[in-house]
Amino acid sequence: MNQFLKGCNLYLVGMMGSGKTTIAQILAPQLEYRYFDTDRLIEQVAGQSIPEIFAESGEAAFRELETKVLSELCAYTHLVVATGGGIILNRKNWSYLQHGVVVWLDVPVEQLYQRLEGDTTRPLLRDPDPMAKLRSLLDQRQSLYSQADVRVIVGPEDAPEQIATGVLSEI
């Protein structure tokens, strides 16, 4: 186990609601790694919540902060990082992600929607038809997520501990 990882950072990627934060928090103590979440770091740097950043400065400014935070994390090793769902959009981010092992938590869109229904913390889902929005984001991003080193397919009945074990068996 963990032959692949060898002290490198572990980056969890995937759509909003795919469970990156939950799984990263389970994996970090198991690997004896430190846990970080790029969204929380962005909020600390900006002194604002994600919806405030989007509302006041726009998505492009948010993406710049996302790249800055990711580049700074790359200076460290032995981290488990839960990334924001759009981190895969910027080609520059891949140059940072490639220093570690990238795991895609692949969750069906229906399941994502169930988890995210009523959520007010994701500005991109503030849409008259959030399900259609989720589908279109996933369509745009699927080929980027599939560039991850490892894809873990998550089923509707899978418990977080099981998913974490699935990740560990692949790295």
- The contact set with ligand S3P (CB under 6 A) reads 16, 20, 39, 50, 84-86, 122-124
User: What minimum distance in Å lies between the beta carbon of 130 and ligand S3P?
Assistant: 12
CB of 12 to ligand S3P, least distance (A): 10
User: What's the burial of 167, exposed, middle or buried (CB within 10 Å: 0-12/13-18/19+)?
Assistant: buried
Walk across the sheet containing 79-82 and list its strands: 34-37, 79-82, 10-13, 101-106, 150-153
2 or 59: CB nearest ligand S3P: 59
CB of 40 to ligand S3P, least distance (A): 9
Which is nearer to ligand S3P, 108 or 123 (by Cβ)? 123
Burial of 148 (0-12, 13-18, 19+ CB in 10 A): buried
Output 2 or 64, the one with its CB closest to ligand S3P: 64
Closer by beta carbon to ligand S3P, 3 or else 120: 120
